[in-house]
Amino acid sequence: MIERASMQYTTSIKKMMSWQKEMKALGLTIGFVPTMGFLHEGHLKLIEEAKKSSDCVAVSIFVNPTQFGPGEDFEAYPRRLDADIRLATEAGADIVFCPEVKEMYPVDGGIRIVPGKLAKKMCGASRPGHFDGVLKVVLKLVNIVQPDTVFFGMKDAQQLAIIETFFRDFNCPATIVRVPTVRDEDGLAKSSRNVNLSTDEREDAPIIFETLKHAEVLVQEGVTKEAVEKFVSDTLDNKTSGKVDYVSLLTYPDLEAPTETSNDLIIACAVQFTKARLIDNIIFKREG
Ligand code: AMP
């Protein structure tokens, strides 16, 4: 890892590309952490992991409008750019790329990336077009930064599965590293959206992870998919003020209904609170 005294950031695609070319000319490897900002310990963990295994680290901060549907929280998504640049730099970023929307999307040529069957389940079922927007921005960012390695969090497990499949199927040369979910002490997964929870909702929110952990035990005991999903859904309905969007027990990363022989599983859910939609999951191996 190269030590750099001053923090660097740029809003320009051209400058970002000159930086990566300069690093490559020096023979240095680039680790990349794409984010939507309002950084928390989850993001910082990704940056730390990138720093451990790459010569230099680029972090992007961009609230991507193409992955928000009509009526979703694009406007209300929390933003805090100055503090984010400082936090990312302190965690080990050598450059922070924070473009404006018009820099990333100056024109729309109408071409879309369609993620297909993986995007029809879980979050994709209630957020049509969300993963099209995710793939578009990830492809653009990866083309701009041209990293050796890209770091993604397992909290966004469906996003991770879709991006891994996209990279594999389209021979994207960067390697993907999965980073485990970072949680508050009470188990709530760190999320930029947690600031939009009311005090009461924040008190309820750890029940999500507790219930998923309980669901994993039920799976290990042989309880059926339908009964496990119903248990999670009913518990979250009864014990939180949020509205359950979905609960899914699927194989991971294929996101298919498990058969008797499926061992790599995910139990995932989304809960809509007044101003924040929270997602969480546990990825685990079925024993025996
Ligand atoms: P976001 O800014 O929410 O789009 O997230 C940017 C990256 O950080 C994605 O790869 C997320 O999966 C990852 N991330 C978000 N929250 C967490 C968390 N609590 N633990 C680990 N990674 C996370």
CATH number of the domain that residue 150 is part of: 3.40.50.620
Is a pLDDT exceeding 60 seen at residue 3?
no
* Atom nearest to 180 CA in ligand 1: 21
3-state secondary structure of 95: strand
Question: Are 98 and 235 part of one and the same domain?
Answer: no
Question: What domain count does the chain have?
Answer: 2
Q: Which of 40, 43, 130, 214 is catalytic?
A: 43
Q: What value does the mean pLDDT of the chain take?
A: 96
Same structural domain, 165 and 253:
no
The answer to whether 88 touches 61, Cβ cutoff 8 Å, is: yes
Pocket flag, ligand 1, residue 156 (CB < 6 Å): yes
Tell me, yes or no, whether 30 and 160 share the same domain: yes
One domain for residues 20 and 131: yes
State the average pLDDT over residues 95-121.
97
Residue 1 confidence (pLDDT): 36
Is the pLDDT assigned to residue 253 strictly greater than 70? yes
Mean pLDDT of the region 124-128: 95
Q: Give the tens place of pLDDT for each residue, 135-151.
A: 999 999 999 999 999 99
**Is residue 185 domain-resident?**
no
182 close to ligand 1 (CB < 6 Angstrom): yes
Are the CB atoms for 88 and 51 separated by under 8 Å? Answer: no
Q: How far is the CA of 170 from the centre of ligand 1 (A)?
A: 24
Q: Would you call 94 exposed, middle or buried from its count of C-beta atoms within 10 A (0-12, 13-18, 19+)?
A: buried
- Our answer on whether the CB atom of 192 is closer than 6 Å to any ligand 1 atom is yes
> Would residue 285 count as lying in a domain?
no
Tens of pLDDT, residue by residue over 30-68, are 999 999 999 999 999 999 999 999 999 999 999 999 999
Residue 81 sits in the same domain as residue 115: yes
pLDDT tens sequence across 68-84: 999 999 999 999 999 99
Q: Ligand 1 center to residue 156 CA distance, Å?
A: 7
- CA 169, CA 117: separation in Å to the nearest integer? 14
Looking at residue 176, what is its pLDDT?
Answer: 98
The answer to the question of residue 187 being in a domain is no
State whether the beta carbon of 190 lies less than 6 angstroms from ligand 1: yes
Among residues 280, 99, 53, which one has the least CA distance to residue 188?
280
Q: Is the CB of 157 under 6 A from ligand 1?
A: no
Q: What percent of the chain has pLDDT over 70?
A: 98
Looking at the CA of residue 153, tell me the nearest atom of ligand 1: 12
18 and 160 fall within a common domain: yes
Domain termination residue (choose one: 179, 211, 246): 179
What's the CA gap between 270 and 90, in Å, rounded?
Answer: 32
Q: Are residues 145 and 202 in the same domain?
A: no
Confidence band for 7, pLDDT divided at 50, 70 and 90: low
Encoded tokens for 3: 């030590």
Please give the model's pTM, rounded to 2 decimal places: 0.96
Task: Say yes or no to pLDDT of 110 above 70.
Answer: yes
- One domain, residues 169 and 220: no
Q: Quote the domain boundaries for residue 274.
A: 192-279
Is 15 contained in some domain?
yes
Which atom in ligand 1 lies closest to the alpha carbon of residue 154?
A: 12
* Ligand 1 atom at shortest distance from the alpha carbon of 182: 20
CA distance 204 to 233: 14
Q: Which of 181, 200, 199 is nearest to 191 (CA)?
A: 181
Q: Which atom of ligand 1 is nearest to the CA of 45?
A: 21
| Structural domain ending residue among the three candidates 179, 204, 224 | 179
pLDDT at 288: 75
Last residue within a domain, chosen from 179, 208, 238: 179
> How many Å lie between the centroid of ligand 1 and the Cα of residue 261?
31
Examine residue 286 and state whether it is found in any structural domain, yes or no: no
| Residue 220 belongs to domain with CATH number | 3.30.1300.10
Q: Are residues 175 and 63 in the same domain?
A: yes
State whether the beta carbon of 59 lies less than 6 angstroms from ligand 1.
Answer: no
* 288 falls within a domain: no
| pLDDT for the residue numbered 6 | 55
Comparing 1-10, 155-164, 266-275, the range with the smallest average pLDDT is: 1-10
With a 6 A CB cut-off, is 211 part of the ligand 1 pocket? no
Determine, yes or no, domain membership for 221: yes
For residue 251, is pLDDT > 80?
yes
- Report whether residue 60 contacts ligand 1, using a CB cutoff of 6 Å: no
pLDDT tier at 4, thresholds 50, 70, 90:
very low
The answer to whether residues 52 and 135 belong to one domain is yes
Q: Are residues 219 and 145 in the same domain?
A: no
Q: Whose CA is nearest to atom 11 of ligand 1?
A: 153
Q: Is residue 47 part of a domain?
A: yes
Note whether 265 and 286 are within 8 A (CB): yes
Q: Specify whether 214 is catalytic.
A: no
Same domain, yes or no, for 203 and 123?
A: no
Nearest CA to ligand 1 atom 22: 153
